[in-house]
Amino acid sequence: MKVRDGLSTHLTVAQQYDHLVEKGAIKRDPAQERVVRELDLLVDRIREKRMARKSRALGWLFGKGKKTNEPITGLYIHGEVGRGKSMLMDLFYQIVPARAKRRVHFNVFMADVHDRIARHRQALKDGKTKETDPIPPVAAELAQEAWVLCFDEFTVTDIADAMILSRLFSSLFENGVVLIATSNVDPDDLYKDGLNRGLFLPFIKILKDHVKVLHLAADTDYRMEKLNRLPVYLTPLGPETERMMDQAWETVVNGREVRTETVTVMGRGIPVPRAAGDAARFSFAELCEAPLGARDYQALVERYKTLFIDDIPVMDLPQRNAAKRFILLVDTLYEARTRVVLSAAAAPDRLYIAKTGTESFEFARTASRLTEMQSEEWQETSAAAAAAG
């Protein structure tokens, strides 16, 4: 049995959960424990199916034992924000015995689906395929890559997504995909009041036919408790500030897998070096020394509710372009009420020291907003906005 970061990697979800309780990372919650039991049952079913597939492939048990083509019912875990849904799914994802598995934010998954559909249509136009319907081949490709599919923050707001979900997921389930999803809403409330919702309703039935719906009704909003204790603006730069930034990041990540992602804007990809759920972490250079603009920053705050920005330097005239981007970035964060955690070389009113140029005047607003972001009132409203995401 392997051990990583003090936690065995080949255990049950319940054992991992108990380990987190014992080390004080979480509090034991009966509502969470009910979900844990269901996740472990699902792990067992997936393990049985994987072993049966392997045995059948080797010809050892051909024609004997349980059928391996029986579909596995997945899980749809919904409840209010901050109740630990993503944390529990991550514990499941770490141990589920399937190599072809994928854990992804639902919006990122759908962006990938639309990209694949566009490529298929281009291939049809170029004469490289005769398949006029892109959904079946796209679904087959996705199922081949991952037959255990974990969605974080399952929600439907885009009509382009809504109109293809019934056919897409029918095909995914036909290809043997097992779905595990977390959401803030009951399946019956997905795409509520959305345009042409009647065309979307068949998807809800398909979904409920293939998942067991669990309501995680924990009493405590653990995420809000943690968010309200986070620092906002750390200075000066140095080992202690870096340690505090890392500690705050671990609090927000809350045991979830940290990975690189890409946010697509107008056909361009913005690399996200560290992301976990709806939180992302960048350096100042990655956000303000790269050729990014208003659309890019807006896309980031729409995708992530909490942003960490490391190593904001003191800027002078040679850094005026980076200062312009930083002004724009702070304006975007401010308007979106995005939760921020920043490390900087100096206090906000000392970050831009040039006395000439429009940036020297504009930066006064930026400094004021950075100062406001440190207030208790700001932290409460931005933490609430982050939790509502």
Same domain, 70 and 205: yes
Q: Where are the alpha helices (DSSP H) in 59-188?
A: 85-95, 106-125, 135-145, 159-174
Where does a domain end: 167, 199, 215?
215
Same domain, 71 and 144: yes
Show pLDDT as tens, one digit a residue, over the chain (389 residues).
Answer: 444 444 444 589 999 999 888 887 778 889 999 999 999 999 999 988 877 766 665 554 444 444 446 789 999 999 876 678 888 998 999 899 888 999 887 878 888 899 999 999 999 998 898 889 999 999 999 999 999 999 887 888 788 888 899 999 999 999 999 999 998 889 999 988 888 888 899 999 999 999 999 998 866 655 556 666 677 899 999 999 999 999 889 888 877 778 899 998 888 899 999 998 889 999 999 999 999 998 899 999 999 989 999 999 999 999 999 999 999 999 999 888 888 999 999 999 999 999 887 888 889 889 988 988 887 777 767 666 655 54
Which one, of 287, 245, 295, 243, lies nearest residue 265 by Cα?
295
Burial tier of 266 (Cβ tally within 10 Å: 0-12, 13-18, 19+): exposed
Same domain, 191 and 307: no
For residue 203, CA distances in Å to 49, 124, 181, 213, 239 come to 26, 27, 15, 15, 51
C-alpha 389/C-alpha 375 separation (Å) is: 21
Q: Maximum CA pair distance of the chain?
A: 82
Same domain, 202 and 263: no
C-alpha 363/C-alpha 101 separation (Å) is: 46
Q: Which amino acid type is present at position 254?
A: N
Which one, of 305, 302, 311, lies nearest residue 344 by Cα?
311
Same domain, 239 and 153: no
CATH, residue 18: 3.40.50.300
Where does a domain end: 163, 195, 215?
215
Same domain, 182 and 228: no
Same domain, 211 and 228: no
Where does a domain end: 215, 250, 273?
215
User: pTM value?
Assistant: 0.61
Write out the residue range of the structural domain in which residue 9 sits: 3-215
Same domain, 266 and 245: yes
DSSP 293-307: -HHHHHHHHHH-SEE
Same domain, 264 and 124: no
C-alpha 91/C-alpha 19 separation (Å) is: 11
Same domain, 192 and 148: yes
Same domain, 154 and 250: no
CATH, residue 255: 3.40.50
Which structure tokens are listed for 65?
Answer: 């034992």
Length of the chain: 389
Q: How many domains does the chain have?
A: 2
